[in-house]
Homo-oligomer: A and B are copies of this chain.
């Protein structure tokens, strides 16, 4: 139950630099590889000869060569050649629209006729030398919407991430949720509070005192199908908070691309973009390591929650004010799912 006529992050470029990558996305088994001139390509991970996964093969001259008997597959899903064979009549396999942009490989698993690269979200920080980015990938056995819920309700930080970014002041500050078209924004502002350990370190990383009261903010932005970008930061208290000048604050964007693998598992691309000391690679590495440790704390909780929900499928969960972001996001997702299920709409969109 995920929209398919949309762009998902499939992998990062380094994952296909040396060899093809087999990865299931939206229940489709896909192989990603670099075709002619390094252009990224994505086709079904199924050799039309004998059904072997093409991802066990290799790339030669921009063609994906099956590692079993040498069939050569082109980026269009058509067999280009095979030793000792005439391949003209060979059946094709499905090719998927795929684009490399902003440091990610994006794939479209729905109706290819509707795929428009202009719909890939604009990530201003991705191509700006004033910004630095570091991130990673986790595989989690849960419905992608549980991860959206997680990220749109940051009160969980107080419990799941108590030793790093959590603090009781989070749950004391009620969040506000707004819907703007297909975007859902849940914001929380905390004033004159102590900075938790992760943000103390970030203040130091920006050469700022870490032992003074701060104003702290969290602005979670959901856009379909399952992207959550969160503006987070702290400023020395009373300097303007979110709007404080750069010399008084440490801020960044938490980046979350959530890609369904199956109905109950995801590829979770997480990272952080920052615009202070962007050239400091050691700082980037340190932040990534810290964030990786923190985000790993969510895994057990999410997978346990998923198992519980599968066991009790009929229970109604609560929808509190803190759940507003997730609730609104699911409402948008439900509308998109309904649109996809209506043949006329996609036909209309395609025409």
Contact = CB atoms under 8 A, between A and B. Distances in A.
A85 B322 CA distance: 9
B312 A51 contact: yes
Given A69-B153, A156-B69, A172 B301 contact: no
Contact of A301 (B46, B52, B322): B52
A208 interface: no
A174 interface: yes
A139 interface: no
B70 A305 contact: no
A324 to B, nearest CB: 13
A249 to B, nearest CB: 26
Interface stretch (A197-205, A236-244, A313-321): A313-321
A39 to B, nearest CB: 24
Contacts of A156: 68-69
Interface in A155-190: 155-156, 158-160, 168, 171-172, 174
Interface in A57-110: 57, 65-70, 82-85, 90-91
Interface residues of A, number: 50
A304 interface: yes
Interface string A290-316: 000000000011001100110110011
Contacts of A301: 52, 56, 67-68
Contacts of A84: 155, 171-172, 174, 321-322
A50 interface: yes
A45 interface: yes
Contacts of A275: none
Nearest to A173: B84
B67 A160 contact: yes
A231 to B, nearest CB: 21
A225 interface: no
A311 B172 contact: no
A159 B308 contact: no
A260 interface: no
Interface in A254-307: 300-301, 304-305
10 closest Cβ contacts across the A-B interface? Answer: A83-B171, A52-B305, A53-B304, A51-B308, A51-B309, A49-B318, A67-B159, A69-B155, A50-B317, A69-B156
Given A67-B160, A70-B155, A83-B155, 8 more contacts: A46-B312, A46-B315, A53-B308, A68-B159, A69-B153, A69-B171, A84-B174, A91-B316
10 contacts: A53-B305, A67-B301, A68-B301, A68-B305, A69-B155, A70-B155, A84-B155, A84-B321, A91-B316, A91-B318
